[in-house]
Amino acid sequence: MLLPHRLTEVTGPLLGDSLITATDADLTMQRDGEPQGQRIIVTGQVLDSDGRPVPDTLIEIWQTNAAGRYRHSREHHPAPLDPNFDGIGRAITDAGGRYRFVTIAPGAYPWGNHYNAWRPAHIHFSLFGRAFTQRLVTQMYFPGDQLLPLDPIFNSVPDEKARQRLIAYFDIDLTQPEWALGFEWDIVLRGRGATAFE
Ligand SMILES: [Fe+2]
């Protein structure tokens, strides 16, 4: 889909890998010490509707720490903060449309939507296109999470197959011995297999 570039896009801040530092995609290395929790690798491809990889896409993620708490001024969940975990990462897709994060498995958290409401563990994803005015936002979930059938946000996606596409795939080949569990999650921008966006 081609949209005309207006003055906003042409004169806006430029995206590029020059602004990304080495630790931006490794959320376990951003502080002096290592964060608590299960270390995980999250990787995948950003794809167009016909399966073509989309390079140079800025991906930003944010998530809770292992205890289910965000580092945010409006966070009220009485779970411990982790001094070694901010829960924010950035990466740019390579020529094959691939991204890769190292992080900590996020925890479930209560959100007060209804009685005993808990969000399943998830990682928020934001994708920028060729300008800050082109942005897609979604959430990645984890396989086998008992909270998924109960979550109104996950279930706001009406199509069962589209919901399943929001769940990462546990990959034993991506998993690194003595180090980290591996999860694969592709993001499809449009078409019949498109990722559900918010
Ligand atoms: Fe969240």
Looking at residue 99, its pLDDT comes to 97
Looking at residue 150, its pLDDT comes to 97
Looking at residue 6, its pLDDT comes to 75
| 70: annotated active-site residue | yes
| 109: annotated active-site residue | yes
Task: Identify whether the C-beta of residue 153 lies closer than 8 Å to the C-beta of residue 117.
Answer: no
In angstroms, what is the span from residue 122 Cα to ligand 1's centroid?
Answer: 6
pLDDT tens digits for the chain (198 residues)?
Answer: 677 777 766 666 666 677 788 799 999 999 999 999 999 999 999 999 889 999 999 999 999 999 999 999 888 899 999 999 999 999 999 999 999 999 999 999 999 999 999 999 999 999 998 777 788 999 999 999 999 999 999 999 999 999 999 999 999 999 999 999 999 999 999 998 999 998
120: its two tokens = 């399943």
Task: Identify whether the C-beta of residue 28 lies closer than 8 Å to the C-beta of residue 34.
Answer: yes
**Structural element, H or E, at residue 43:** strand 39-47
Looking at residue 130, its pLDDT comes to 73
Q: Can you say whether the dihedral through the CA atoms of 182, 23, 88, 106 is positive or negative?
A: positive
Dist. CA 106–CA 2, nearest whole Å: 36
| 122: annotated active-site residue | yes
Q: Can you say whether the dihedral through the CA atoms of 157, 175, 43, 40 is positive or negative?
A: positive
Task: Identify whether the C-beta of residue 187 lies closer than 8 Å to the C-beta of residue 47.
Answer: yes
Q: Which of 119, 141, 163, 165 is catalytic?
A: 119
Dist. CA 53–CA 31, nearest whole Å: 32
